[in-house]
Amino acid sequence: MDIAEPWFFPPVITALLLTAGMSLLLGLGLREYYLVNQKRIVFGTTRTCMLIGLLGFVLYHLQPGGALYLCGLLILGLWLGLFYWHKLAREQMGLIGLLLALISYTVGPVSLTLPTWFLLLYVISALFILNAKEDIHLLTLKMVNEEIITLAKFLVLSGVILPLTSREPLAPFLPVSIHQTWMAVVVISGISYLSYLIQRYFLQGRGILLTGAFGGLYSSTAATIVLARQSRRFPATSTRPAVAIVLATAMMYLRLLAIVLLFNAALGMKLLPGFLGLSLLAGMMALLLRRRNHEPADISMEAETPQNPLELSTALFFAFSFLAVTAITHFILQHYPQQGLQWMALFTGFTDIDPFILALVGGRLPAALPDMGQAILIATASNNLLKAGYVAILAAGATRWQAGLALLTLAIVTLGTGYLLLP
């Protein structure tokens, strides 16, 4: 072989080494788990998991998906069953070690048939679950049954119903399909639900700044209203509520950019410089306001948890809003193609801008990319004006003029960005 020619292991050797390495990690993780939890009755740890992993690899490689592998699984299951019966006699009912042994047995087939990244994800997930007992226990104690049921319903609707929905436009005046409508609901609800979980289960009592930042991922308008009201609990000279409000708007730009990129990559790339710049500008404003604050410590906010975005009523309301805004926007583009879209963007900014933006990026509307980009920026600017109005009415002390002026400035700069970057 030419010395300059790159040399690689044969695929079967690579898979064998991966199996041994991943089984070793599982065994080490199990050994640490036993030591930390002072487990006495164990079937083995590091070497046992490695041998089980190698056994599964060889049996599957000799006869992929055949009787040898299944026989090995049966023998392993019987052996683990006898061991568990012995544990039950000692009044010990833990199954963690046995389950990790079965996972080790499946590492070989996974390394032979699936991509390496999946194997790594598979093993890392198992190790994470193994070492996250207390965190998972606390989370299950905090989560109420209604939320688990709501999440299960949403997963069924998005994972089972969504692929079966029609992709044909609903009507000539409504150029979107049921599939597009529900996809919009899934994306918006998924982003909002991530922020909702963080706010409800991880950020309660953690301070106003983190609440503002993650509240912007859920809804910057809702976060602004809550923060403006909470500003009355702070000293009149405090800048923390204003910082949190501006941070919520900075996160809003990133959230909207992610939505546009998901549904229309070409339009998203056109908006990328503008939205990143606007988010950076808002972040710099928040930093400047933060430096003006001289309070020794943050004040914990009262718990005001937003509504679960996965509730069926919330999802259906958003779906109907999306359809209505799409129909209105299509009508305006048909009858007022010159300025109608800009006026529509201006007015929708004073409501919920998500349905309008999704109607533009996923509604098959007869509009050019620059026009759609301008409309999105106009809607974002008018939404900042709406939030400035809420701050002027609801906030107190320095927050009223600090956050209000920052939002007004962001509205003007956002509007100018629409006409400078997308002529």
pLDDT digits (tens, 9 = 90+) for 326-372: 788 778 877 777 678 888 888 888 877 888 888 888 766 667 778 88
Percent of the chain predicted with pLDDT > 90: 15
Beta-bridge partners for 174 = 171
> What DSSP string describes 121-157?
HHHHHHHHHHH-HHHHHHHHHHS-HHHHHHHHHHHHI
The overall pTM is greater than 0.75: no
Which whole number is the average pLDDT over 213-226?
80
What digits encode the pLDDT tens for the residues 114-151? 888 888 888 888 888 877 766 666 666 555 556 666 66
Question: Does residue 341 contact residue 333 with C-beta atoms inside 8 Å?
Answer: yes
pLDDT, mean over the chain: 79
Percent of the chain predicted with pLDDT > 70: 76
What digits encode the pLDDT tens for the residues 247-261? 999 999 998 999 899
User: Helix 398-421 crosses helix 265-291 at what angle (to 10 degrees)?
Assistant: 150
Residue 75 has pLDDT above 60, yes or no: yes
Alpha-carbon distance of 30 to 94, in angstroms, equals 13
Q: What pLDDT sits at residue 215?
A: 76
CA distances from 107 to 30, 54, 127, 295, 311 (A): 15, 9, 13, 54, 38
> What DSSP string describes 286-321?
HHHHHHT---SS--PPP--PPPPTTSHHHHHHHHHH
Instruction: Return the closest-CA partner of residue 382 out of 325, 423, 339, 342.
Output: 342
Instruction: Return the closest-CA partner of residue 359 out of 370, 384, 172, 348.
Output: 348
Range in 30-44, 171-185, 199-213 with the lowest mean pLDDT: 199-213
Instruction: Return the closest-CA partner of residue 305 out of 247, 243, 219, 240.
Output: 219
Q: Pick the residue with more confidence: 181 or 415?
A: 415
Instruction: Return the closest-CA partner of residue 279 out of 410, 374, 399.
Output: 410
Range in 49-63, 213-227, 278-292, 302-316 with the lowest mean pLDDT: 302-316
Residue 300 has pLDDT above 60, yes or no: no
Domain ranges of the chain: 11-131, 144-421
- Collapsing DSSP states into helix, strand and coil, what is residue 367? coil
The pair of structure tokens assigned to 295 is: 């309070």
Instruction: Return the closest-CA partner of residue 216 out of 242, 243, 190, 255.
Output: 255
What digits encode the pLDDT tens for the residues 151-195? 676 776 677 667 776 777 677 776 666 776 777 777 777 767 776
Alpha-carbon distance of 109 to 13, in angstroms, equals 13
Which whole number is the average pLDDT over 211-234?
79
Residue 295 has pLDDT above 60, yes or no: no
